[in-house]
Chain A
Amino acid sequence: MKKEDQLEEKNPIEDLLRMDRIPHIWCPGCGIGTVVTSFIEALKKSKLDLDKVVVVSGIGCTGRVAGYVKLDSFHTTHGRAVPFATGLKLANPELNVVVFSGDGDIAGIGGNHFIHAARRNMDITIICVNNFNYAMTGGQVAATTPLGANASTAPYGNFEFPFSLPYLADAAGATYIARWTALHLRRVTKSIQEALSRRGFSFIEVITPCVTLYARRNRLGDGLNLLKYYYDNSEIHHGADTRTLDISYQGKLVVGKFVDKEKPTFLDAMNEHLGKVLGDKYVLYGRINDDRD
């Protein structure tokens, strides 16, 4: 057999993975890897210079993403991925900064940073993997755990009202907001691609199975059962009013692209405002030929 005819066993996205760190730590049936695949496919389809794409993660299962992608990548502290990304972006506006982290990291401990980065319309993309619990530490109740669901620190069921993340992002000022599940692979890819091409604060929530903890504790079966749940209960509703996106325990999941609008980013607003007020004295900062324009 000629060399070129031989089949090679190779992961099609391995050029953007740190293969020297594989196998990864995620459990069988986990949805995080699926989102990573979508992210890498979106990157490949985008026209971005990948040397300028930076991934920032916080702590938790999804926090490990930064360690597996072959890009400039930072595995930071719990909740602080968003302000870390803010620093990277503002210090070098040429960078395309992506925060890839979990619901606990972004909406729990990092919730304050999240809403303020959205308010400022910081030009970064947030991919938030929502598995309804703190998985890395053993399945504790989270800010996203649906009412009534069981968690290791809510052994009698959760009685705290959860966040609806797209609603939170919308209220805080995000300019691109989408929600999908791990079942909607191609749509996740497309949304990430869109988010990367937009200037401003983009937020994508991806609901994923946590088989080992959330599903097991709630007797919801394995990964396949959860994908079946997404399949049976997802309702695509682009442009849905973000006030209607609450998730109830094993209830309907409204998914889609809810917000896609334009607003000056932090740096745009800073340059415009200070330029106007200070005139020639102002030193324009970081206005670059943006390959997304």
Chain B
Amino acid sequence: MKKVKADPKGVLTGSHYLDGDHSLAEGGLAAGCRFFAGYPITPSTETAERFSERIPTVGGVFIQMEDELGSIAALIGASWAGKKVMTVTSGPGFSLMMENIGLACMMETPIVIANVQRGGPSTGLPTLTGQQDMMQARWGSHGDYEIIALSPDSPQECFDLTIEAFNLAEMFRVPTFVMTDECIGHMHEKVVIPPAEEIELVERKWYTGPKEKYLPYKPDKDLVPFMIKAGDGYRFHTTGLTRDERGYPVINAECQDVCVRHLVDKINKNADKIIKLKEEEIDNAEIIVISYGITSRVAIKAVQKARKAGIKVGTLRLITVWPFPEKRIKELAKKIKAFVFPEINCGQVVLEVERCSWGQTQVIHVPHCGGWVHNPDDIFNAIKEAAK
């Protein structure tokens, strides 16, 4: 894995007062993103607006596409031409993107997608928050595959995790999602952008061997194949069909097994390298509150109240949601009385916690249909209930 310093041209070093949407754009520019294709959608549009304003003085392309189907197609093309690429969207646009997210997985193409989530289904709540696209981020396109999804809890993390998303996308040749939401997207806070030399970026895994021996999908030791770009004389082929190491279509169950298993293993077997969690006061905890994104900030109040009431509560924040921290949850499930899991949906990521708990502990979900964040008392009551 080759690491390089960020290109100072894209890094707006300093202390800023930014909302999450703008911070996503700055994260992308700092990470070296020089191609953005998108389509306006509330509450994510500000990211595209900022990118369109900033990119002409940095050097690169912003294009507003005709729809989100086209945005992702353009990203994949641009990524294969050698650029770092990103887009931003929200629910309905995310649904349209699913088709070519599958293609990006199949072609093993690094792309970054930020989703500023709003309430759904359908047009739902364009201007109000939700965390209802978490399962869609994981498996919204057809077929079997695995992706990486991160969840920032602040405008600062929108910046930091967008850079992280680029690094992971490049490292694993996979679509990587920054799953934020309307609250954080429109929340203004201090965002510190460090000097370029303090931002470490992962360089794409470029192939350097003899041209005639290049195989676009031959897994390396870390399971990630080397990549090349169009126009370098390899005369390579790639397809959305099930393909072999050469990138040639092979339509049978044997090749499908190798191809799909690879797409899944590439992420799952590298999960330890990918997953980031933030744990607090876990050691003596009887109850652990699991959360991600904006909900983890709301949960703090409930946790503080519970601690005052003498309940031993720890917190676990999923910075990485996908791949899911299966091992850690299994470990913790053996030690505690209950997990409490608030999320702004009717029960999505909690299903994974239930699965990993294997009946060894209670899992109490605190659902919310979207439109606003939880009332901390609802989370507190769940903690109290669990502690009984």
Q: Which residues of A contact B (CB under 8 A)?
A: 18, 20-21, 51-52, 54, 56, 66-67, 70-77, 79-80, 82-92, 94-95, 112-113, 116, 266, 270, 274, 278, 281-283, 285-286
- The chain B residue with its CB closest to the CB of A282 is B56
Tell me which residues across on chain B come within 8 A of A90, comparing CB atoms: 35, 61, 63, 74, 78
Minimum C-beta distance from B89 to chain A (A): 15
A51, A52, A88, A113 interface centre (most CB from chain B within 10 Å): A88
- The chain B residue with its CB closest to the CB of A59 is B240
Known contacts A90-B61, A91-B83: A80-B56 contact under CB 8 Å: no
Contact at B240–A113, with CB atoms within 8 Å? no
Contact at B66–A87, with CB atoms within 8 Å? no
Report how far A79 CA is from B240 CA in the complex, Å: 13
Contact at B66–A112, with CB atoms within 8 Å? yes
Dominant secondary structure at the A interface: helix
Known contacts A87-B35, A285-B60: A76-B73 contact under CB 8 Å: yes
Known contacts A90-B74, A116-B66, A282-B56: A76-B240 contact under CB 8 Å: yes
Contact at A21–B248, with CB atoms within 8 Å? yes
Report how far A280 CA is from B123 CA in the complex, Å: 43
Contact among B37, B77, B233, B234 for A85, CB-based, below 8 A: B77
Tell me which residues across on chain A come within 8 A of B259, comparing CB atoms: none
Tell me which residues across on chain B come within 8 A of A283, comparing CB atoms: 9, 56-60
Known contacts A84-B73, A285-B61: A91-B35 contact under CB 8 Å: yes
Tell me which residues across on chain B come within 8 A of A86, comparing CB atoms: 37, 63, 65, 70, 73-74, 77
Tell me which residues across on chain B come within 8 A of A66, comparing CB atoms: 237, 239
In the complex, B249 has a CB within 8 A of chain A: yes
Contact at B67–A112, with CB atoms within 8 Å? yes
Interface size on B, residues (CB 8 A): 48
Tell me which residues across on chain B come within 8 A of A84, comparing CB atoms: 73-74, 76-77
Contact at B103–A72, with CB atoms within 8 Å? no
Tell me which residues across on chain B come within 8 A of A87, comparing CB atoms: 35, 37, 73-81, 85
The 5 A-B pairs with the shortest beta carbon distances in the complex, nearest first, are A87-B77, A87-B74, A91-B78, A91-B81, A83-B70
- The chain B residue with its CB closest to the CB of A92 is B81
Minimum C-beta distance from B99 to chain A (A): 6
Contact at A76–B70, with CB atoms within 8 Å? no
Known contacts A51-B232, A77-B73, A83-B69: A91-B85 contact under CB 8 Å: yes
Report how far A66 CA is from B77 CA in the complex, Å: 14
Report how far A65 CA is from B244 CA in the complex, Å: 18
Known contacts A21-B248, A80-B69: A52-B103 contact under CB 8 Å: no
Tell me which residues across on chain B come within 8 A of A113, comparing CB atoms: 66, 69-70, 73
Minimum C-beta distance from A92 to chain B (A): 4
Tell me which residues across on chain B come within 8 A of A74, comparing CB atoms: 77, 80, 107, 230, 237-239
Tell me which residues across on chain B come within 8 A of A79, comparing CB atoms: 69
Report how far A91 CA is from B100 CA in the complex, Å: 18
Contact among B57, B66, B80, B235 for A88, CB-based, below 8 A: B80
Other CB < 8 Å A-B pairs besides A88-B78, A112-B70, A116-B70, 9 of them? A54-B230, A72-B230, A77-B100, A83-B65, A83-B66, A83-B77, A85-B77, A88-B230, A92-B81
Within 8 A of A (CB), among B161-191: none
Contact at A278–B100, with CB atoms within 8 Å? no
Report how far A192 CA is from B81 CA in the complex, Å: 23
B56, B99, B240 interface centre (most CB from chain A within 10 Å): B56
Contact at B73–A80, with CB atoms within 8 Å? yes
Report how far A38 CA is from B190 CA in the complex, Å: 60
Report how far A164 CA is from B301 CA in the complex, Å: 64
- The chain A residue with its CB closest to the CB of B58 is A283
Tell me which residues across on chain B come within 8 A of A20, comparing CB atoms: 248
Contact at A95–B70, with CB atoms within 8 Å? no
Tell me which residues across on chain A come within 8 A of B367, comparing CB atoms: none
Tell me which residues across on chain B come within 8 A of A76, comparing CB atoms: 73, 76, 103, 240
Contact at A75–B56, with CB atoms within 8 Å? no
A66, A74, A283 interface centre (most CB from chain B within 10 Å): A74
Tell me which residues across on chain B come within 8 A of A51, comparing CB atoms: 231-233, 235
In the complex, B241 has a CB within 8 A of chain A: yes
Contact among B65, B230, B233, B241 for A92, CB-based, below 8 A: B230
Minimum C-beta distance from B78 to chain A (A): 4
Minimum C-beta distance from A285 to chain B (A): 6
Contact among A52, A70, A83 for B74, CB-based, below 8 A: A83
Contact at B235–A72, with CB atoms within 8 Å? yes
Report how far A282 CA is from B229 CA in the complex, Å: 27
Report how far A94 CA is from B230 CA in the complex, Å: 10
Contact at A67–B237, with CB atoms within 8 Å? yes
In the complex, B236 has a CB within 8 A of chain A: yes
Minimum C-beta distance from B216 to chain A (A): 11
A54, A67, A94 interface centre (most CB from chain B within 10 Å): A67
Report how far A94 CA is from B233 CA in the complex, Å: 13
Tell me which residues across on chain A come within 8 A of B57, comparing CB atoms: 278, 281-283
Report how far A67 CA is from B63 CA in the complex, Å: 28
- The chain B residue with its CB closest to the CB of A68 is B237
- The chain B residue with its CB closest to the CB of A112 is B66
Tell me which residues across on chain A come within 8 A of B77, comparing CB atoms: 56, 74, 83-89, 91
- The chain A residue with its CB closest to the CB of B66 is A116
In the complex, B347 has a CB within 8 A of chain A: no
In the complex, B140 has a CB within 8 A of chain A: no
Report how far A274 CA is from B37 CA in the complex, Å: 18
In the complex, B8 has a CB within 8 A of chain A: no
Contact at B236–A72, with CB atoms within 8 Å? yes
Q: What are 15 A-B contacts defined by CB distance under 8 Å?
A: A51-B235, A54-B230, A67-B239, A74-B80, A74-B237, A77-B99, A77-B240, A80-B100, A84-B76, A88-B80, A91-B77, A92-B83, A112-B66, A116-B65, A283-B9
Contact at B81–A88, with CB atoms within 8 Å? yes
Tell me which residues across on chain A come within 8 A of B74, comparing CB atoms: 83-84, 86-87, 90
Tell me which residues across on chain A come within 8 A of B37, comparing CB atoms: 83, 86-87
